[in-house]
Structure 1
Amino acid sequence: MKTVLFLVWKSFGNEFIIEELEKRGFEIDFFDFPKDTENTRNSIDLTEAIARRVLQTRPDFVFSFNYYPVAAIACKACRTKYVSWVYDSPYILLYSQTILYDTNRVFLFDSHEVEKLRGLGAEHVYYMPMGSAVEYYDTLEPTPEMHQMYDSDVTFIGSMYSEQRQYLYHHLKNVDEYTKGYLDGIMQVQKSLYGIDVLEEALTPDIIGRMQKVCPVQANGDGMETVAWSFANYFLARKVTQMERRELLEALSERFRVKLFTPEKTPFLPKVDNMGRIDYYERAPYAMKCAKINLNISLRSIHTGIPLRALDIMGCGGFLITNYQSDFNEYFVPDEDYVFYDGKEDLLNLVAYYLEHEDERKKIAENGYRKVKELLSYGGQVDKILGMI
């Protein structure tokens, strides 16, 4: 019997990948993984607990969504493969020196991040887009009551990055005026650019030093990330995303019926219908199916990757308008399978056009659905991963 030691935490996709592994004859041993209460970078106790379980059960491999150095250390000690599929971005644990272990098989949805880590010597890091649970979505049909609740011109599901736990930029509020102006300038430039990243390279040693005076970020002792990488991806990219999402949703709401699903309060978007938090498995697919247009505005630390939300939308048969992300080009054709925008005015024009041209909109949504089902289903992605480990 083939076995997998599955590190379980409240991840997106647990149900889907468990089902696919079981279909392929794997017996799954579940290990409750305390990622929110333990140090997953270097906890000796947690490392030893994983190692003991590996030695007891002798699995074919250990699996987790996202990458955890404690698991990599345990698997290296036991000479067992550690397979991880990462969907979060940014994800600083990827820059732990444990990423270099030859027992790792790490799959990332962003090809830019793969290239960067390989450049640091991580030979067992691979590009693998996330999968879409098309078979599950096909079983869901919105009721009339759901249509009444979820129908919209434009739907956006995601964070506005206004909560303090998400909004790290506030730690830089006391920087000097020169630095504040410099950061504002590079963030405005980044907000206007798609497919090009300028934040990290724009952080000069002088600017980083000024930022560290009010927010003393340092590289981890066992990490390969730079301070510039941390500031760019965790602080500035989130701020740019916050600015962009607020600006675009506000502009759209002036002309169209916009529904926003987010746990945050949004008094700064008075014309947007804030529907609150939505359950990923039970309700979000219905909202995507009911929307005329589903909008994806990528977190700016996702440099090239196809966000999971975009695949969910297409897998539900929804019509997708997204910002430009180059990894789409490997699987999809713009204006045939999905549509991308290049700035606020372009987005407003595209939304107006596709609301008026229903047949075109539905044809593109159908094409995108078929492509995802053929090329990026959960089962298909699991088969690719199993073939590479």
Structure 2
Amino acid sequence: MNVLYANWQCFGADDIIEAFENLGHDVSWIELTETSHERMDWNFIEFLKIKIKEIGIELIVSFNYFPTLSEACKDTNCKYMAIVYDSPSIKVYSPSIINECNYVFVFDKAISEDLNRKGVRTVFYAPLAVNIERLSKIKITDEELKYYGCDIGFIGSLYNENHNLYDRLAARTEDKQLMGYLEGIMEAQLKVYGYNFLKECLKPDIVKSMYEAMPFEVEEGSLTDKEYVYSDYFLCRKLANIERTRNLSLLSKYFKVHLYTNNQDVSIGNCINMGKVNYYTEMPKTFQSSKINLNMTLRSIRTGIPLRAMDIMGAGGFLLTNFQEDFLLHFEPDADFVFYASPEELLEKSDYYLRHETERKRIALNGLKRIKEDHTYEKRLKALLEIIK
């Protein structure tokens, strides 16, 4: 098959191109335009249509869904495969999602089911994949092991940037009742794992008040609404900031915790801020060196397994994660990974597995074995291409 990979600053580009080539497909690539990230880029669409016909492209592939790519494929008898790993991702609710050329694979089963219930037949559930061959070649030196070594490692955003949407909303309103209500439902959500009820709590009067402070219009014909935007882009990201800050502060009271995040100036409890790490060359070494690798899933991911969790297991790291329902479809708790359902349980299980090294290492090896057996890029692409055919 003649495949065109549409590139942007995402994780996994080299991995997926390598996997397609390993499966015997011809792959070329092109850079997505900046405009394509925001809206339809009609000039780029016309350029792509010409390119598709000139070199006989049969399939365009991208990480995340882009309506611009779908539009280019729609009239050219070309198929479009989008592998969505970001959440929230409002583009999957775009009117163009129903284009028959689309094969959109989302890692969150709840999102695929939501769109299927709305009559969308171009969206499918597929967990994310790992390049085991690349990870297996990464060797760690004794010096690196000493540098990265810690009791608990966490890699991820703290969502504490100055322009975060929730804080901007708070700065623009004097409605204390509104902010008290939002803080209340976020505190309630923090106590519940495995089910996100924030959107259900955004009644019309609350949405009206939020809209007055920070108006946002969903695309005409969109399959979602303002409630989705305010819950997933405003509240869930703020909730991640609160949850990650509290959990890391708690753990760092008792254990050596390494924090890897873009903001090297942030200070959380007794955490050691190690700054950011390179996805390909450094991140796997942190997974191998940390006794426990912590995953705290953004609440906009309803049931899905985040890419970070797959990468941890694929590097042979021990994974301790919040509960996400989709794990149970592919992995066995306490055999391949371990989950927690409260801050108290997070602390308790961290302490237990730090004191039980043999059990911890066995679980890490089981998780790696399961990734090798079922979740490599080649195996995943074979399954996805069967659907496309």
Taking structure 1 as the reference length, the TM-score comes to: 0.97
Measure the CA separation in 2 of the matches of 1:310 and 1:207: 34
SS, match of residue 197 in structure 1: coil
Within the alignment, does 1:163 sit opposite 2:161 as a pair? yes
Q: Which residue of 2 aligns with 1:31?
A: 30
Segment drifting more, 176-185 vs 131-140: 131-140
Answer yes or no: is the 8 Å Cα contact 2:22–2:378 preserved in 1.
Answer: no
Counterpart residue number, 1:134: 132
Structure 1 residue 88, shift from structure 2 partner: 0.5
Is the 8 Å Cα contact of residues 196 and 302 (structure 2) preserved in structure 1? yes
- 2:100 aligned residue: 102
Distance in 1, matches of 2:368 and 2:4, equals: 32
Q: What is the alpha-carbon distance in structure 2 between the residues aligned to residue 75 and residue 51 of structure 1?
A: 7
Is the CA contact 1:40–1:68 (under 8 Å) kept in the aligned structure 2? Answer: no
Deviation of 1:171 (Å): 2.1
Corresponding residue SS for 2:75:
helix
- The answer for unaligned runs of 5 or more in structure 2 is none
Aligned to 2:241: 242
Alignment equivalent of 1:88, drawn from 86, 89, 93:
86
1:52 aligns to what?
50
Identity in percent: 39
Deviation track 1:284-323 (CA, whole Å, cap 9, x = no partner) reads 0001000100000001111100000000000111000000
Q: Tell me, what secondary structure is at the counterpart of 1:388? A: helix
C-alpha contact (below 8 Å) 1:194/1:342 kept by paired residues = yes
2:59 maps to 61
Aligned equivalents of 2:29 and 2:367: distance in 1?
Answer: 35
User: Where do residues 141-180 of structure 1 align in structure 2 (5 Å cutoff)?
Assistant: 141-165=139-163, 167-173=164-170, 174-175=172-173, 176-180=175-179
Give the ranges of 4+ consecutive aligned residues of structure 1 lying more than 4 Å apart after TM superposition.
Answer: 37-40
- 3-state SS, counterpart of residue 78 of structure 1: coil
Q: Which amino acid in 2 is paired with 1:257?
A: K
Are the equivalent residues in 2 in contact too, given 1:40–1:69 (CA < 8 A)? no
Q: Which runs of 5+ in 1 are unaligned?
A: none
Moved more, 49-58 or 93-102: 49-58
- How far off is 1:38 after superposition? 4.4
Aligned 8 A contact 1:109 1:306 in 2: yes
Do 2:253 and 2:269's aligned partners in 1 also have CA atoms closer than 8 Å? no
Question: In the alignment, what sits opposite 1:13?
Answer: 12
Whether 1:183 and 2:182 are equivalent positions in the alignment is yes
CA contact (8 A) 2:37 2:66 kept: no
Alignment match, 1:290: 289
Match of 1:226 in 2: 225
State the Cα distance separating 1:270 from its structure 2 match: 4.2
Cα drift, residue 222 of structure 1: 3.7
Kept in 2: contact 1:79–1:103 (CA 8 A): yes
SS at match of 1:85: strand
Distance in 1 separating the partners of 2:20 and 2:314: 20
Give SS of 1:321's match: strand
Q: CA deviation at 1:41?
A: 2.8
Query: Which residue of the partner structure matches residue 343 of structure 1?
Result: 342
Q: Which residue of 1 aligns with 2:312?
A: 313
SS in 1 for 2:153: strand
RMSD: 1.2
CA shift for structure 1 position 224: 1.9
Letter in 2 for 1:106: V
* Distance in structure 2 (CA, Å) of the matches to 1:122 and 1:164: 37
Contact (CA 8 Å) 1:40, 1:46: kept in 2 or not? no
2:193 is paired with a residue whose SS is: coil
How big is the shift at 1:23? 1.2
Matched, 1:278 2:285: no
Partner amino acid, structure 2, of 1:82: Y
Shift of 1:267: 3.9
Aligned residues: 386
Q: Is 2:267–2:273's contact at 8 Å kept on the other side of the alignment?
A: no
